[in-house]
Structure 1
């Protein structure tokens, strides 16, 4: 007679039941909070840049050589993979990946909170994070760009470190960095946990190996010198406050205020957190501080930078609320839900005039060129290449890389001499080897207009003639050589 199989331990049954209930709820909330992301073909130029990069990579482009940007390779590769599987005509597959990234972040935060403070805290952390994750301008919160894919990596790093899995924690930090450089800020709280828990030297070595090996592999798979230049050393002119200081400061204050509205249910308990509740949460405060430093880095203060603040804020609010009466938790959740509804409404109803302009411009370009023609858009909206389904004539997809016009900077540090180092000789070689059939000047009076950029002005004067205007943008067709 066979013995009956042993029943699984009660703790395993309870854990499975907990996640069987919580994960579907978090998944539903993640889908709801990302609904606005599916109502626009594009949300911001970063999505357009990534879409164009992915198409160029799919057609034989080489990252950091013929396809360049100041970002690490993970998200461009993600776009490329999504396009390879589902086609490049729509960003819907990438938007679905963004929903999964948000769900993964919420689940990891819930697991962290549950391990430290119990079942209720786990549910609270996951729900609070998803509610505040959309609390910015929709073009920042709903876009499927770098920060959205950085956050699950950062949360995974903290999750692994909390369980003393130092090699995996290092790998997660590396993935956060490879999604966006500032994602590497999570290394500080991870290192703090390593130090606080008195790990033997082997833990330090495992953390270092987990961090260094993936980054080295990414550099070797692309171009090591190009990887180093474009992700670390080549952005000195970009990462400065000089030029339009008041404008940039105003943007920072505005986005801080917007996020504060979204976090209206979280900030009061965090600010009033009693000292006993802070015990054991030093790593979370360090995570919040390092994320704030990441927001400040570069002095641009774009809204999507602020997304890095939301995971540690959700955990700190959870830590604070667990010591307060239950009605305070209910009030925090209700306030956060109301604020979330406000931002979702904004996302569904907000007009996108720049998208409409890019669509009209793309239609005009598609009408005047063939799919085999190369086009140069001289502006800061690379999404027009993607909308027009035309191949860029240059690896530099925005005028910002060639003039340092970026982040609203319109002060003295805009012009050819402030371009990415070595960019203009490469650009001139590109124009000589295979001149674009059409050049679109979309500067519309900004300081990077061709009359302020001698090289481009000479090119247009010598080889092109104006053929049309669309919403202030000027289209130049190549004049046949005699």
Structure 2
């Protein structure tokens, strides 16, 4: 009876076009509704970096050459666009992120509709929308939420090519894959997944040449899509900075993780909150994977989703790090596979010998655990409490919350054209204070991997000393304090700055007021116990 009721409510095909439009509208609204409560949540570090880069772009400066990060440029471009559209507030990129999430859900809806019909399409789009509301994934306006749009659009275009045999769709798939790479480098694994599928199931069965031609087109057009970025930075004299950031430094960043840690993290989840929070997705996807693997022959659509899931998993895991927001890359694949499990449940149950009660009970248990776990964040009394619940590292979370007060002090004690330098990773200070960074390297992480970046930053600071230097290294990993930086930096501080005091987690140094005070033995007594 229950199964027949569900089938009537959500038939295999929408009865009228208006029903389809209504379902699509619901798919669009769900992620926006679930992400909107966190629009004004304090920025975390990654968001602070993107916001600072975007602010620099809007002031006519160039990413990598003038304000550096090791991620490709399109996320900062999203941020800059959001500031132009919605104003330079912390809510602007969150609005853009929810719009990107909604568009991704709609593309999943359209893809599944073509692959498996209306019912699966609606369930898949809805499940992805619900997944974007999982607060423990720390989505906010992080890079992955923008990454999913071109990645899923590439998958949709590739499937349209397989349906229509139109090379235009294949070219679009490659171009979108290239744009995804310029959003975050791990998108390359999803491109590899499309290439692998093309070789496993070539358009012309048994023709290896057909598969190789598909791969060549995908890779060639993806590379072509990235070419304008190289040309742009070369034309502005920043090609070396661009290549160092997104290739050279990332290779050093990856090598920082020992091989044994990499292997362990390939098969484990460090943030245990993610297990109950995402269990409804993993359970549904697991059911579909087991069912498909038990079949003698798998359809093209099913196989494509399985291969694409594998590519997404490698994208999450191959960096050697295990941050919660990395798992966003898995959401579309998990949602689509879960949709297949739910959509086919009625027919599967009728063929099986399992009693309804245990199966229904298992579904209720999984859904209840996910809803209950995630509702803890939504039920928080304030955005501050929600932020603390989402981000378990209390030291860093408190720093996010205290950044506004420090930024307000900087804004009140400097002029709009003044520059500052944050020695640490609290890059949101630049954005919140509305002050541009005084050096190309806006945070300290690169200093510990490549000393040349520290030397470059110190040259910038000596050439144009900023009005304020904020030392926020005290909240970093044990031992990563300014005291351990090369003596030349401490000497620079002693010569040119006076200690203004400590505010929350930050030690603040102000530029000495007169040029005559530069040089010599001018160590202020207020430096005692500081450096």
Aligned-residue RMSD, C-alpha: 3.0
| Structure 1 residues 185 and 248: CA distance shift in structure 2, 3 A | closer
Cα distance change, pair 340–401 in 1 and its aligned pair in 2 (3 A): farther
Task: Find the counterpart in structure 1 of residue 401 from structure 2.
Answer: 356
Name the larger-Rg structure.
2
Q: Give the match's secondary structure for 2:466.
A: coil
Provide structure 1 residue ranges, at least 5 long, that are not aligned to the other structure. Answer: 1-11, 404-417
Shift in CA distance, 104/423, structure 1 to aligned 2, threshold 3 Å: same
Cα separation, 2, equivalents of 1:94 and 1:277: 47
Where does 1:36-435 land on structure 2 (aligned, <5 Å)?
Answer: 36-42=37-43, 44-88=44-88, 90-137=89-136, 140-141=138-139, 143-164=140-161, 165-195=169-199, 196-198=201-203, 200=210, 203-223=214-234, 224-242=239-257, 253-255=268-270, 257-272=272-287, 273-274=290-291, 275-276=294-295, 279-280=298-299, 281-325=302-346, 332=363, 335-336=366-367, 339-340=370-371, 342-343=373-374, 345-347=376-378, 349=380, 350=386, 351=388, 352-403=397-448, 418-419=449-450, 422-435=452-465
Per the alignment, do residues 324 and 247 of structure 1 end up closer, same or farther by CA in structure 2, a change over 3 Å counting? closer
**What is the TM-score normalised by the length of structure 2?**
0.77
**Aligned counterpart for 1:452 among listed residues 484, 488, 492:** 484
What's the TM-score, normalizing by structure 1? 0.85
Cα 1:15–1:210 change in 2 (3 A) is: farther
1:478 maps to: 511
8 A Cα contact 2:154 2:173, kept in partner: yes
Secondary structure class of the residue paired with 1:235: helix
Greater alpha carbon shift after TM alignment, 150-159 vs 14-23: 14-23
Partner of 1:151: helix, strand, or coil?
helix
Q: What secondary structure does 2:251 align onto?
A: coil
Query: How many Å apart are 1:394 and its aligned residue?
Result: 1.2
CA distance in 2, matches of 1:333, 1:213: 48
Tell me if structure 1 keeps the 8 A contact 2:28–2:105. no
> How far is the alpha carbon of 1:253 from its aligned partner?
4.7
Count of residue pairs brought into register by the alignment: 452
How far the C-alpha of 1:245 sits from its partner, in A, is: 8.6
- Over residues 372-406 of structure 1, what are the superposed CA-to-partner deviations in whole Å (9 max), with x where a residue is unaligned? 22111111110011111122111211111222xxx
Which ranges of structure 2 fall in alignment gaps of 5 or more residues? 1-12, 162-168, 205-209, 350-355, 381-385, 389-396, 517-531
Q: Distance in 2 between matches of 1:369 and 1:248?
A: 48
Change (3 A) 1:308 1:188: same
3-state SS of 2:80 partner? helix
Q: Which of 241-250 and 20-29 deviates more?
A: 241-250
Single out whichever of 15-24 and 438-447 deviates more from structure 2.
Answer: 15-24
Distance 2:61 2:368 in 1: 44
